[in-house]
Amino acid sequence: MRRIDLADAAFLLAEKRETPMHVGGVSLYTLPKGVDVQDFVGELTLGSLMAEDFREPFGEYVATGRAGAMGPLYWEKDAHIDMDYHVRHSALPKPGRYRELFALVSRLHSTLLDRNRPLWEIHLIEGLQNRQLAVYMKMHHAAIDGVASMQLAQSVSSTDPDFRAYDLPMSQAAYERHLAAMGARKPRRVIPKERELRAVAEALKQQFDSSTHVLGALRRFGGAFFGRSGNLAVPWHNVPRTSINTRVGGARRFVAQSWDFDRIQAVCRAIDGTVNDVVLAMCSGALRRYLMGHHELPKHSLKAMAPVSLREKGDFAAGNAVGFITADLATNIEDPETRIRTIQESMRAGKELLQGLSPREAMIFMQLTQLPALLTTVLGLAAQFPAFSTVISNVPGPREQLFWNGAALNGIYPASIVFDGFAMNITLVSYAKSLDFGIVACRRSLPEIQRMIDYLEDALVELEEVAGLRVRSSKRTATKKSAPRKKSPRTGAQAKRASGKKIPKKDAGATKPKSIPKAKRKGRASKSTATKKPGL
């Protein structure tokens, strides 16, 4: 047995029926010309994998030690993995639109993983239009973080459409192949000369440095509660109560959409900002519109937990290496230009807090500052004392077009976690020429979450106007917006001109990526259509 460290075990301890703690997402593929979906799925010899073929911890289940449930948790090897349980084949009902796909993924994302088995599932979903195949995969957050999950997806993919690898991303073979492709090697233990003296000296130096840096960060973190840390935002401080910050049920709602990366980068260049700045401003504008539509925009600004990777370069291990920055979303500011500048200042202050820390020191700091949030979650108090308003996570993904056994990967749409006090999660992945957003929300607490897709587009257009990239509309008044504007249904070409998104050909085969279409707006809850457009 291998002991599960505290950062990973926290996700297991916080889990209950209403708050599943798995992450995952939908990968959308277009099959090569002339390949039947049944033949494609049948060629995946998934049943041939044995327990010893899996990389840690995907061939293991969660076990307890002598102390039982009150003691530490361990990974125990599963000698009898039932592949028919972990890898499942589903088909959508006709007409096979993204609406039906989202409904199925919403149900699949609502159910707990079985702790008596390795904590992952893969669902191969056929029945989509335009020769597309969807793969929904979920893994417990105790086993993996966002960056590691991207490495997992890349381990079975290639930039070469002729490459074939009929194994799972959780397999040891896929892991070693990915290590070789990246030029990485498994870490080896190095024993220094004059071991005793050098080890003692290094340990003392590291402990002294860590103590100094971490204590300095903690002082500034604590000073923010008393207004002594400038633009630094911290958990719990002036976090308003909205319908997002409630107790959640077990049912989930999943929606997704792609935006052209070029549009985001154009705004970045114009305002001298980062992709994260623009993404947070998009989410801020969308959340502001959503809350105004439900007549509950609070006086204080929403605060977002923005995870940051603490994974060192060349680290390809599973598990978690993640911290967070608290971002002030400035949702209480009407002017979009002032709003994004406030977001930039907040993010800059958060990054400065971590700049003087090594990855190890940052991990210590994060564990100390996240401990209260963990305790409120375990004690069931997160809804009464929310540390944040929501979670917005930007996961860097592959920037080149990938293929899986000849099928073109069109998009990667993440599905993350919501729990008591945080009923909505917005996660996005940068892939090829797009940013792929996945939004997960509590179905009971947050109605009409599909409107967020329209609101994100409106917020991006607003930023483009601020940046001088398009003519500002005199009709655009965010203060009066409470519902989507009524518009007649658009044709594919009209939608492309209005949103700047790509629209693929009828059969892009394995040459051009597709995305899930932009939802049509009809003055009611927006719904994804089956229009042939790229991205989710």
Rounded to two decimals, the pTM is 0.76
Token pair of 102 as six digits: 């989202």
DSSP assignment of 40-80 equals HHHT--GGG--GGGBPTTTTEEEEE-TTGGGS-EEEEE-SS
The C-alpha torsion from 164 through 165 and 168 to 170, rounded to 10°, is: -120
Q: Cα 197 vs. chain centroid, distance in angstroms?
A: 45
Check: CB of residue 124 under 8 Å from CB of residue 89.
yes
CATH fold of 2-182 reads Chloramphenicol Acetyltransferase (3.30.559)
Q: In what order do the strands lie in the sheet with 60-64?
A: 2-3, 73-77, 60-64
The tens digit of pLDDT for each residue in 402-460 reads 999 999 999 999 999 998 888 999 999 999 999 999 999 999 999 899 999 999 999 99
Residue 22 designated active-site = no
**pLDDT in the model for residue 262:** 95
CATH fold of 225-473 reads Chloramphenicol Acetyltransferase (3.30.559)
Domain boundaries, the chain: 2-182, 225-473
**pLDDT in the model for residue 253:** 97
Give the span between the Cα atoms of 392 and 439, in whole angstroms: 9
Give the span between the Cα atoms of 502 and 517, in whole angstroms: 9
Give the span between the Cα atoms of 22 and 142, in whole angstroms: 8
**pLDDT in the model for residue 481:** 40
Helices (H), 183-272: 195-223, 261-271
DSSP assignment of 266-288 equals HHHHHHT--HHHHHHHHHHHHHH
Q: What is the DSSP letter of 170?
A: T
Q: Which residues of the chain have pLDDT under 50?
A: 187-231, 311-312, 314-322, 477-515, 517-536
Give the span between the Cα atoms of 67 and 77, in whole angstroms: 19
Catalytic residue among 86, 123, 141, 178: 141
Give the span between the Cα atoms of 254 and 107, in whole angstroms: 9
Which residue(s) pair with 322 in the sheet?
Answer: 309
**pLDDT in the model for residue 292:** 95
Is 2-182's fold the same as 225-473's? Answer: yes
Rg (CA), the chain: 23
Give the span between the Cα atoms of 206 and 88, in whole angstroms: 48
Q: What are phi and psi of 45, to 5 degrees?
A: -80, 65
- Beta 132-140 vs 120-126: how paired, if at all? antiparallel
**pLDDT in the model for residue 374:** 58
**pLDDT in the model for residue 7:** 76
Give the span between the Cα atoms of 460 and 76, in whole angstroms: 47
Find, among 438, 396, 434, the residue nearest to 146 by Cα: 396
Find, among 260, 262, 221, the residue nearest to 349 by Cα: 221
